[in-house]
A and B are shown apart, each in its own frame.
Chain A
Amino acid sequence: MDRRSFVKAGCIGSASLLMQGLDPMLRADTVPSVAPQVELHGLPDYKRSPLGMPGLFPGKVIEVRDPKAIVRNRISQPIVRRLLEHAMKNLTGENSSLDAWAKFIEPRDIVGIKINPSGAPACCSSPEIIREIIAAVQLLGVPSRNIVVYDRYSYEIDIGSYQALLPTGVRIVGIQDAFTGTGAGYEPNVYCEADFFGEWETRSYMASIVAHEVTKIINVPTMKDHSASGVTGALKNLAYGTFNNVARTHRAPYSFTNPVIGLMCTVEPLRSKAVLHIMDGMRQVWHGGPLTQVQDFIEQPGILLVATDPVALDTIELEAIEKKRAERGAPSLWQHDSSSITADNNEFFHNAAKNLFFREPGHIAATGKLGLGVSDLKQIDHRLL
């Protein structure tokens, strides 16, 4: 069995823990030069959809907020319902919530809801928001069995208790188990290939559920900084939650999340199927993301951001987290100062001046240049409601 067959066969588990950089001791030996060539292989002959990124409303971001939406870390279901309806009507210009949702979803669709449970329980896609999305999709006539709430790691979904908290009939799928590699599987013909740090496996495969099963994706990222990519928003939630073997793109302290995040989002059918992005800003992590449990760095602003353009959405998120870091005296996400780098996870989690990587938030603008959206703040129609 060659190395690629080994990974495809499902032995991703313990081997990938090292390959993906989950071992905190794994560090780059040398300074990498430029980003390597990344080879993309989408689903052959897939017809691109006009609903795909940047979608029906390029450059438009709707922001709704209510400080009562989250009080002492508890989210109000009725307020979330009202905020989401308000945002959807304003995004689409429709008078009814039903008509707004109907612009994206048809009754015959198989709807994937891409959550972000990493960081659970402190900050993850809120079950209250997912419930509202499910209710809206069901009102359009999509049966529960055709709604799939999914993410990469099943054990993170477990920690978030999504299984217990979401309505009956809806499927909840972890694509793989982080610790053993078993799970729903990956499509061997759809992948991104590059050698970043001389890693053993140089391909990242697209999840089969995205490649073949769902027909539309509603992306529900959280509002968080990220130690390697600067922020984890709509783009990273889609890319690194859809392809496997992605942690290999950043080996402390260096990161190739730019350009990989954007490139992965261009791969069909992911680009076409991701029709709507609803960013959960009930909680906002401004340091320690994506996995921190330290409440000192987690605000509770009670925000929802809605867009079809993930680049514009992430640009707004990046600005918000930069602003919060500046208010708190933390260095910019753009700072590349070697004195700020630490190899000590504990120091990183408790000191906002420290980081594990040189962050690369330029992936957002780079993705804009690939045609997936608008990254120029002056051109973004950011509506605060």
Chain B
Amino acid sequence: MPETAMRKSVDWPTLLGDNARTGGLGQRQLHSPEKAVWQFRAGGAVRSAPILNDGLLYVASVNGMLYAIDVATGMSKWNFAAGGQLHSTPSFFGNSILFGCDDGKVYSLDRRSGEKLWAAASQAEVWSSPVARGGVIFFGSADGKVYAVDAENGHQRWSRELGGRIYSTVYAAEHVLYVGCGDGKVYCLETESGNTLWGAATGNGIDSSPAVTEDLVLIGSEDFFVYALHASTGEVRWKYETGLGIASSPAVSGDFTAIGSKDGFLYAFETHSGQLRWKTVVGEVVTAPPVVGDGVVCIQAGGTFALDPATGKIVWRAGLGGAIQSVPVLAGDTIYLASLSGEIYALR
């Protein structure tokens, strides 16, 4: 297999694997990992998802450091000290890596050297993941605004104030953006201007990040419900009540959608009908998003669980990777996990 094709098959460039937020469909992680290949100590808790590209695993830690770890050796290739704590999952644009920071900035670094390219400012912490589309970076901030900045230099194109804090990661479709907000609404904004096309109310604030498939926007709310909204109008197509609030985000693959709830269950639905396929208890609390592999659904909830997507039965579990806000990276025959104490593991 040519090297470029091989790299492509194991890359994991953004939250839930790719910009379609499918949660890694097509990656293979069918068997239980047997050993730790290496272990890296980040020196601070990790509350975001690592991402992987071209042999480097990028991990943001709440100690303010972004680490680029060579997956062949488990050694740091470079690291970057940001101006505050990091809770944001990084993402890529071209040769740059982007992430939000508690100092209110989104940083862009050269992903091979770690050199800072630019920083775009907001007025409060940025926990959401920056999303690139068409040469523009979109991100939400706890200052209540969605920002669009130029991917090359960070210059602001527009900002749009919504009704509450934004911790939800923007979903960027071709002409519109979708994002959840602390005011309990899911917003649809025009990509070019940031103008609001619609806002759909839920019963409490939203911490979850939306996924979009065909004509549906899927998202969880702290009002305990999973929502499927019509992408053009915001009209509720179906909703499903879980036992507690939802901070987890949906992973969607065709007619399969999985999402966790703070009631400790991982839920799986038929995407189009909202019919519950199964629900399985995986921990006391689930706040992280699941990821979907080929024949397996993985989630971190006080440990790492792999479930059969057809039945919801737990296929294997690992005590490592206790960070309930992080997400495993499934890459070829290796799985990368972050722990509450900031340990990063490569398991095979």
Contact = CB atoms under 8 A, between A and B. Distances in A.
A361 B306 CA distance: 43
Interface stretch (B40-48, B192-200, B251-259, B269-277): B40-48
B344 interface: no
B43 A164 contact: no
Contacts of A165: 165, 182, 204-205, 207, 222
B154 to A, nearest CB: 22
Interface string B123-137: 011010000000000
Contact of A163 (B62, B165, B203, B224): B165
Given A155-B340, A180-B63, A180-B341, A166 B44 contact: no
A165 B127 CA distance: 14
B308 interface: no
Interface in A165-222: 165-169, 177, 179-180, 182
A95 interface: no
Mostly, the B contact residues are: loop
A122 interface: yes
B45 A179 contact: yes
B124 A168 contact: yes
Nearest to A17: B341
Interface string B177-210: 0000010000000000000000000011111000
Contact of A164 (B124, B182, B223, B244): B182
Contacts of B325: 155, 158
Contacts of B203: 74
A127 interface: yes
Contacts of B284: 293
A165 B203 CA distance: 12
Interface residues of A, number: 25
Q: Is the interface of A mostly helix, strand, loop or mixed?
A: loop
Nearest to A161: B207
A80 to B, nearest CB: 13
B141 to A, nearest CB: 9
B245 A161 contact: yes
Interface in A124-173: 127, 154-155, 158-159, 161, 163-169
B262 A121 contact: yes
B330 interface: no
Contacts of B125: 163
A56 to B, nearest CB: 34
B67 interface: no
Contacts of B124: 168-169
A331 interface: no
Nearest to A128: B204
A142 B341 CA distance: 37
A13 interface: yes
B164 interface: yes
Contacts of B139: none
Report, nearest first, the 10 A-B pairs whose CB atoms are least far apart: A164-B207, A165-B205, A121-B262, A168-B144, A164-B167, A293-B284, A164-B182, A179-B340, A179-B341, A161-B207
Interface of B: 43-45, 47, 62-63, 124-125, 127, 142-144, 164-165, 167-168, 182, 203-207, 222-224, 243-245, 247, 262, 264, 284-285, 287, 324-325, 340-342
Given A14-B341, A180-B63, 8 more contacts: A121-B245, A159-B262, A159-B324, A163-B207, A167-B164, A168-B124, A177-B45, A179-B45
25 contacts: A73-B224, A74-B223, A155-B45, A155-B47, A158-B47, A159-B247, A159-B287, A161-B205, A164-B167, A164-B168, A164-B247, A165-B182, A165-B207, A165-B222, A166-B165, A166-B182, A167-B165, A168-B124, A168-B144, A169-B143, A179-B45, A180-B63, A180-B341, A293-B264, A293-B285
